[in-house]
Amino acid sequence: MVTPARVVIALCLVAPFVAMLWVGSYAKTDPVFIGIPFFYWYQMLWVLLSTVLTMIAYKLWQRDQRARRDASKGGAAQ
């Protein structure tokens, strides 16, 4: 079943793939950050971004599962 929460989860998990596989978007040296070319610090930044995104996906998933379990408990006892 497609719910808004699940769409967000999917987006969170897909975003790193789009960002990292589109190499052309970050294959450049400028802007430089503390002497490190863009190419390098941008990808390291994505380590953090993808971590946050995965964490959001994890929290949403936990909530989604809890809701589903409650719903099935609230329904007919099978």
Partner 1 sequence: MNEGVNGVALAVFIFFFLLVTAMGFMAARWRKAENEHSLDEWGLGGRSFGTWVTWFLLGGDLYTAYTFVAVPAAIYAAGAAGFFAVPYTILVYPLIFTFLPRLWSVSHKHGYVTTSDFVRGRFGSKGLSLAVALTGILATMPYIALQLVGIQAVLDVMGVGGGEDTNWFIKDLPLLIAFGVLAAYTYSSGLRAPALIAFVKDTLIYIVIAVAIIYIPIKLGGFDEIFASASEAFGQTNPATGAPRGALVPGDAGQWTYATLALGSALALFMYPHSITATLSSRSREVIRRNTTILPLYSLMLGLLALLGFMAIAAGVKVSNGQLAIPQLFENMFPDWFAGVAFAAIGIGALVPAAIMSIAAANLFTRNIYKDFIKPDATPAQETKVSKIVSLLVKVGALVFVLTMDKTVAINFQLLGGIWILQTFPALVGGLFTRWFHRWALIGGWAVGMVYGTVAAYGVASPTQKHFGGSAKEIPGIGEIGYIGLTAFVINVLVTVVLTFVMRALKAPDGVDETKPQDYTADAGDPGVEVELPPATAGSAH
Q: Which residues bind partner 1 (CB under 8 A)?
A: 12-14, 16-17, 20-24, 27-29, 32, 34-37, 39-40, 43-44, 46-48, 50-51, 53-55, 57-58, 61
- Least separation in angstroms between residue 77's CB and partner 1 is 15
Nearest to 50 by CA among 7, 2, 11: 11
- Least separation in angstroms between residue 19's CB and partner 1 is 9
Strands (E), the chain: none
- Least separation in angstroms between residue 69's CB and partner 1 is 10
Asked if residues 55 and 16 have their Cβ atoms less than 8 Å apart, the reply is no
11 by DSSP, 3-state: which?
helix
